[in-house]
Structure 1
Amino acid sequence: MTNLTNLVIPLLIIAATVNVFAQKAKIYVEQVTLKTYPFSDPNPVPETGAIYPYFKFEGYTAKGADKEWKMVVLENDYIKVFIAPEVGGKVWGAIEKSTGKEFVYFNHSAKFREVAMRGAWTSGGIEFNFGKIGHAPTCSTPVDYAMRQNKDGSVSCFIGATDLTSGTNWRVEINLPNDKAYFTTKCWWHNPSGLEQSYYHWTNGGFKASGNLEFIFPGAYRIGHGGEVGKWPVDEHGRNLRFYENNNFGGYKSYHILGGNTGFFGGYWHDDDFGTAHWSEYDEKPGQKIWIWGLSRQGMIWEDLLTDSDGQYVELQSGRLFNQASRNSSKSPFKHRGFPPGSTDVWKEYWFPVKGTGGFNVASPYAVANVIEQNGSLSVRLCAISPLNDTMRLFQGGKEIWSENLALKPMENFERSIDTKGVAPLRLVLGDNLLEWEQGAIHKKLSRPVKSPPDFDWGSTYGLYTQGEELVKQRLYKDAWAAIRECLKKDAYFLPAISLKAELLYRRAEY
């Protein structure tokens, strides 16, 4: 009997170990029925200008009908992600499974409205925009897609298309690991042409507005599309704009948050003790934006226009540049950028839920924490995003004063109140810098100008050239030609302007 026991126990241990490592994420196609308010066939005459050669959709309806939509579903033990290849390849929504709560807004109706560059657009989820400012021409039409089960147990859905206005190609891999409570979006963008193209990329995530929502965006400034600068998070009138309900003034809100060198941002619904977070390398995605339709009637009418039952939403967005620069931004430090010929850009983002932390002020793909100083102690409330078996340490003035090993599964919580004494600065670290909090700042402050020199002469040779260069990067070639002509009137031998004039002639096929 002893020999049999000695044989069975190791076999059970091996079987359990194999079972753990054999677990894989799932990927499959599911037909999801949504009340759908469709759009018409396109105008047969293509639009001239910035979106040529695309046609525009101009017909919409107030009458909906149930329609089945193809969804690619990515699922593991912790989260479930829906992707709609027939609607621009957007992430239609995402759910944290232990609570059943959405950490990405899932719109249960598809109400297409005239919002995007080609007209048709629907709200919610996460959409990918490439090319020129605005919702991309592909945002409401089918894109290419492929599904893959990966050797590491993760699953991937690849989406992509060609932007006909510039000839650039974009691809996105939406990947779900088997043992993490996050999914990633990895983008490739390639310019195969022989000319510089306009450079615009923003990923727009939709999230519900109700539930005492707090915007968690480390920074010191908010900038507008034209480079206008305001204070953040408390504005010039003493309003704490971090909370959605405090934005109940004026019309639409478009805040690009700047001033903190941090890779994370997100939101927390305090009524639900639940949140959502985004992380990327800061250098890859320095643009961090909040979009609010507005709490006035002007904005709230869009709730009924865009959904039947899911309520008002907000957008938390990430971008390759600091702001979604309009024409006026050219005269601020936040200028446009060109996409060099033959180049390829690649970047990666993480999206994940948070629960049970009462908010948060530091986040990474490993964990999210709310660290609060109170009455000689440090309160730590943490939610694991990846499996953890690491030591958390607290340092005061460089000396370790507390440590504890954390063994947590994804979405499990940890909470401690740690006694602290003295005035030396505190620093809390998980493992090998998997998560780091420093006293006195939830971000590393940036030192960079937010306003252009007021005495710069935009009518000078260099000023006119800069305007022409900026206009080319916005595909405003007629206006760019006028600026370069004026520049060369001042200095006929200004070589950068001569070179830009040659490029404009080439674009016009005047060789």
Structure 2
Amino acid sequence: MRIDATCGSVFRAWRIRPLLLWATLLTLAWSLLGCAPGLSAPAVLNQAETIAREDARRPLPQHDSSAPIVTVEVRAATPIYPGDPVTIVVRAISQEPVDAYRLAIDDADTGWRAVKRLPGGLLSFEWTAGEPGSYVLIGQARTTAGAVGEGRRLLTVEPPDSSSSQSGQPGSRPDPTAQDTVIFYASSVTLPTYPFAEYQSQAVDPAYRWPYRRFDRDRFWQQAPQPSPQTYQLLILENRYLQVLILPELGGRIWQVLHKPSGNRMFYQNNVVKPSPWGPPQQLGWLALGGLEWNLPVIEHGYDWGTPWDYRALQESDTVASVTVATPRDGRLLHASITVTLRAGSASLEVAPTITNLSPDELQFDYWQTAMLAPGTGNRPSPDLHFVLPGQLMTVHSTANPDLTGPTLLFTWPHYKGRDLSRLGNWREYLGFFEYPAAHGPFTAVYDPWYDAGAVRIYPPEIMRGSKVFGLGWENALGSDLFTDDDSAYVELHGGLAPSFFEQARLAGGASISWQEQWYPVVDLGDLTTANANLALHLARTADAFQVGLYPTRPLNGVINLLADGVPVARRAVVASPEAPFQGVLPVDGAILPQVQQWQLQVEDQQGQRWISYEMSDPS
């Protein structure tokens, strides 16, 4: 069967079942007429979607391969029910020009569609969800030289009564449509899960009285067990701009933050629970599930990345809701408690950890947070992903790159030996490094211009003195089959109490340490230059102007001022919000550009409150 996609038209693809065959043919004929309406605005991504497992051992495509890297993006309300609209986008990363795309939904196939006939050069569809069940989505891209790349995704349509809400009523959940509302509710997600518990044995780290489970990696790979569906509890905080998903049974992690206006995801999201060969050497089996995880009391992801954490949810009011996750009080000497708070009218998430030494004696320990990131909708970074670190000197932790032999090699940032190492596509192999001699702060960020999306972390560097970056590489990247069953990938931003893995934090007996961070997704900036708790800024200079992009974490109505050596030279009114970021131009007299020693950009609201002030000598 074929399904038409001429001119990016809307189509409806149903599984071929006897009762639906006639409806399918009518829908196909309607689509072939080319009179379908345009695509709807992106919606919140489906969190119950899982990854097709037919290619369980497929290696990560290489950047220098002739075949394009293909992603199949799904945008829909969560969860998906029969009759719901679902937007499906097929796109590709390729060194060679892509001349055609193709999409199959089970037995329905578009055939090849020329890029020149597709609006925006991408294959975009609206599909009406069929009856409950799993649907295999296969996207393909073909280059002008004939090389074909493929990406797969398994989409699940739930029965109408399968969802749950805070009230316990099936098929419904609160709808925070008002700007002054935030809600908490509970749901669940079903993920293909490898039986890794069958390959674990009990162990204890005596230094911290910390119980953990040791993974028998060799036996797991020899027996090659297959995954089966398992349902996990999902805790959800939601307001007008963000949907925050927490998995208490899998390390209490923030699994995902969805930017609702765009449908973008901030974190990498592994839709299969699969043990990797990484983790603490004495434990192994780390689950690269994605999101933001809490790692203690040892380095390399700690011990409790995949265990149940205690939790408590608190709906303080219509404007504030939070979830606190915590390690069990079972005799271990350290205790971690992390409170995740979402406020109404804000596109920023508050994260407030507290680490307590329950013993009478001083303890040396490790605490790191690991954020696995793939901002946008493709669930893998592009080669243009850009790391934004304020520091100028880094030190290697680990790498396979011969130009950065380490560990502890110092290198300049962002340029080293003629390469811009802030760009992922310039990495040949995997690389991990720390800001040196400690975290610069007060922010770190990543931005992927290909998806026009990013993520920002705001933190206190006087407390969180460690800042680490890790990536799988690009040309010779670590294979995604090590941790998932598709070709998805990620980069990592770490934050720690100690400056690096080569040092430890100290805490006196009975003492605690607490701090607060902010995390938020960013969209529609083009790139990212700097950020604070109020907004993310992109600034680029041309021959006679400055290009400015602003993404505020709450609505802004104010003014942009540009100063040259302290003298105002340009001014522009600005209205922006998390739903509608600002991009504009500030013209300047080209004759004065070479004479200016210091530029300053200021953003203020109508009450005169300064939202950001950024100084630069050469922002181009």
Normalised-by-shorter TM-score class: 0.7 to 0.9
Matching residue's letter, 1:238 = G
Residue 56 (str. 1) matches residue 233 (str. 2): no
Q: Deviations over 1:229-273 (max 9, x none)?
A: 1121112x3221111111114xx3111124784312211111111
Q: Deviations over 1:301-335 (max 9, x none)?
A: 2x11312236111111222232222xxxxxxxxx4
Q: Corresponding residue for 2:508? A: 340
Output the CA distance in 1 between the equivalents of 2:474 and 2:292. Answer: 22
Output the CA distance in 2 between the equivalents of 1:261 and 1:430. Answer: 23
Residue 149 (str. 1) matches residue 315 (str. 2): yes
Secondary structure of residue in 2 paired with 1:82: strand
**Change beyond 3 A, Cα 1:273–1:43:** closer
Secondary structure of residue in 1 paired with 2:426: helix
Aligned ranges 1:19-58 → 2 under 5 Å: 23-41=180-198, 46-47=203-204, 53-58=210-215
Q: CA deviation at 1:38?
A: 2.8
Output the CA distance in 1 between the equivalents of 2:339 and 2:512. Answer: 15
Matching residue's letter, 2:381 = S
Do 2:275 and 2:286's aligned partners in 1 also have CA atoms closer than 8 Å?
yes
Q: Corresponding residue for 1:180? A: 346
Secondary structure of residue in 2 paired with 1:110: coil
Q: Corresponding residue for 1:210? A: 381
Q: Deviations over 1:418-438 (max 9, x none)?
A: 233432321111224422211
Matching residue's letter, 1:420 = V
**Change beyond 3 A, Cα 1:362–1:296:** closer
Do 2:357 and 2:512's aligned partners in 1 also have CA atoms closer than 8 Å?
yes
Q: CA deviation at 1:347?
A: 1.1
Q: CA deviation at 1:81?
A: 1.4
Q: CA deviation at 1:296?
A: 6.0
Do 1:43 and 1:55's aligned partners in 2 also have CA atoms closer than 8 Å?
no
Output the CA distance in 1 between the equivalents of 2:440 and 2:306. Answer: 34
Q: Corresponding residue for 1:305? A: 482
- Among 600, 609, 620, the alignment partner of 1:427 is 600
Q: CA deviation at 1:45?
A: 5.7
Q: Corresponding residue for 1:451? A: none
Matching residue's letter, 1:193 = S
Residue 135 (str. 1) matches residue 301 (str. 2): yes
Matching residue's letter, 1:26 = I
Output the CA distance in 2 between the equivalents of 1:234 and 1:313. Answer: 22
**Change beyond 3 A, Cα 1:22–1:205:** closer
Do 1:224 and 1:323's aligned partners in 2 also have CA atoms closer than 8 Å?
no
Residue 198 (str. 1) matches residue 387 (str. 2): no
Do 1:94 and 1:106's aligned partners in 2 also have CA atoms closer than 8 Å?
no
Output the CA distance in 2 between the equivalents of 1:22 and 1:93. Answer: 21
Q: CA deviation at 1:152?
A: 6.0
Q: Deviations over 1:83-110 (max 9, x none)?
A: 0000010111121112212111122111
- Among 472, 475, 495, the alignment partner of 1:318 is 495
**Change beyond 3 A, Cα 1:411–1:257:** farther
**Change beyond 3 A, Cα 1:245–1:168:** same
Q: CA deviation at 1:204?
A: 0.5
Secondary structure of residue in 1 paired with 2:211: coil
Matching residue's letter, 1:414 = F
Residue 386 (str. 1) matches residue 564 (str. 2): no
Output the CA distance in 2 between the equivalents of 1:36 and 1:62. Answer: 10
- Among 410, 414, 421, the alignment partner of 1:233 is 414
Do 2:248 and 2:308's aligned partners in 1 also have CA atoms closer than 8 Å?
yes
Residue 243 (str. 1) matches residue 423 (str. 2): yes
Q: Corresponding residue for 2:336? A: 170
Do 2:259 and 2:521's aligned partners in 1 also have CA atoms closer than 8 Å?
yes
Q: Deviations over 1:414-464 (max 9, x none)?
A: 22322334323211112244222112278xxxxxxxxxxxxxxxxxxxxxx
Matching residue's letter, 1:429 = Q
Output the CA distance in 2 between the equivalents of 1:49 and 1:189. Answer: 19
Residue 122 (str. 1) matches residue 287 (str. 2): yes
Q: Corresponding residue for 1:447? A: none
Aligned residues: 410
**Change beyond 3 A, Cα 1:78–1:45:** closer
Deviation larger for 116-125 or 270-279: 116-125
Deviation larger for 84-93 or 42-51: 42-51
Q: Deviations over 1:19-58 (max 9, x none)?
A: 9988311211111111111312576663566575524332
Aligned ranges 1:368-387 → 2 under 5 Å: 368-387=536-555
Q: Corresponding residue for 1:94? A: 257
Q: Deviations over 1:482-505 (max 9, x none)?
A: xxxxxxxxxxxxxxxxxxxxxxxx
- Among 525, 530, 552, the alignment partner of 1:362 is 530
Deviation larger for 146-155 or 163-172: 163-172
Q: Corresponding residue for 2:3? A: none
- Among 434, 449, 452, the alignment partner of 1:270 is 449
Do 2:428 and 2:475's aligned partners in 1 also have CA atoms closer than 8 Å?
yes
Matching residue's letter, 2:287 = T
Identity %: 23
After superposition, the CA RMSD in angstroms is: 2.6
Structure 1 unaligned residues grouped into runs of 5+: 1-18, 326-334, 443-511
Secondary structure of residue in 2 paired with 1:46: strand
Output the CA distance in 2 between the equivalents of 1:265 and 1:53. Answer: 31
* TM-score, scaled relative to structure 2: 0.62
Do 2:572 and 2:586's aligned partners in 1 also have CA atoms closer than 8 Å?
no
Q: CA deviation at 1:71?
A: 0.8
Structure 2 unaligned residues grouped into runs of 5+: 1-175, 375-379, 398-406
Q: Corresponding residue for 2:466? A: 287
* TM-score, scaled relative to structure 1: 0.74
Q: Corresponding residue for 1:508? A: none
Deviation larger for 412-421 or 369-378: 412-421
Q: Corresponding residue for 2:614? A: 437
Q: Corresponding residue for 2:576? A: 408
Output the CA distance in 2 between the equivalents of 1:272 and 1:144. Answer: 36
**Change beyond 3 A, Cα 1:127–1:396:** same
